Chain A
């Protein structure tokens, strides 16, 4: 099973380091896949992930070809979930927002991520678990991502599926 990750555009790393962390490839947001601000930007022609907090704007993006959705505070509303299930859009969980949160708000973020996970699973929406690391220090090895996936409610098999599916669901380089 090959594992993939997506990191932020400012994150600097080399391929050897990515291989040491257990990934076949680490994609860079903005370079390998576009992450569009759903509240300000329109749909993109290339493969892209819509990111934002406005539900109606996110639904518009989902219906216009967004491959994945990153919501603010891991909040997936029913209307958005319905659209995502109908269009085969992927719910993207970024661990950077959990890890990067201060200690007191981290447990809250974990709770929200686990709610997002269970809601998406109930509606048969695929989920991708990525680090979206802001810097090299915030990157995680595949083993750490698997354990974080298990922490938010996935079993071992699905946790691995959420990480290995990043390429197939979102980027589609190694098809």
Chain B
């Protein structure tokens, strides 16, 4: 079976994310915002997925390699998630999660075991 090539993106939000009360709710709002920016066809090609939360503002998303550029652009365009004003900065991208965890911003708690 041919394995799909994926890219992991480290993203930081401009404001702390309130995910503890409802992570799934945030994920659903984020995917809606991505869908609005990418459009159905590009969303399908990029297939973005929420992978890991790192501290209060940072998290890791994964997407397909062919949809990587579109996903980064979409995060540049998103201005609000779930009615809350938010900006997203794509800090780094890698083929593995481990490399991104190591370079996560200080204070995200990613280095704690």
Contact = CB atoms under 8 A, between A and B. Distances in A.
A106 B92 CA distance: 26
A173 interface: no
B75 to A, nearest CB: 7
A137 B14 contact: yes
A140 B76 contact: yes
B43 to A, nearest CB: 16
A139 interface: yes
A105 interface: no
Contact of A141 (B69, B77, B89): B89
B91 A147 contact: no
B90 A144 contact: yes
Given A20-B105, A143-B93, A148 B73 contact: yes
A137 B86 contact: yes
Interface in B3-38: 12, 14-15, 36
Label chain A's interface by main secondary structure. Answer: helix
A111 B20 CA distance: 40
Given A99-B79, A148-B73, A148-B76, A141 B90 contact: yes
A150 interface: yes
Contacts of B90: 141, 143-144
B95 to A, nearest CB: 15
B45 to A, nearest CB: 15
Contact of B87 (A22, A106, A139, A148): A139
Contact of A21 (B15, B72, B73, B89): B89
25 contacts: A20-B12, A20-B89, A21-B91, A95-B76, A99-B79, A106-B77, A136-B87, A137-B15, A137-B85, A137-B86, A138-B87, A139-B87, A139-B89, A143-B90, A143-B91, A143-B92, A143-B93, A144-B76, A144-B89, A144-B90, A147-B72, A147-B73, A148-B73, A150-B69, A151-B73
Given A21-B91, A150-B69, 16 more contacts: A20-B12, A20-B105, A95-B76, A99-B76, A136-B87, A137-B15, A137-B85, A137-B86, A141-B89, A143-B90, A143-B92, A144-B73, A144-B76, A147-B69, A147-B72, A148-B76
Interface of B: 12, 14-15, 36, 69, 72-73, 75-77, 79, 85-87, 89-93, 105
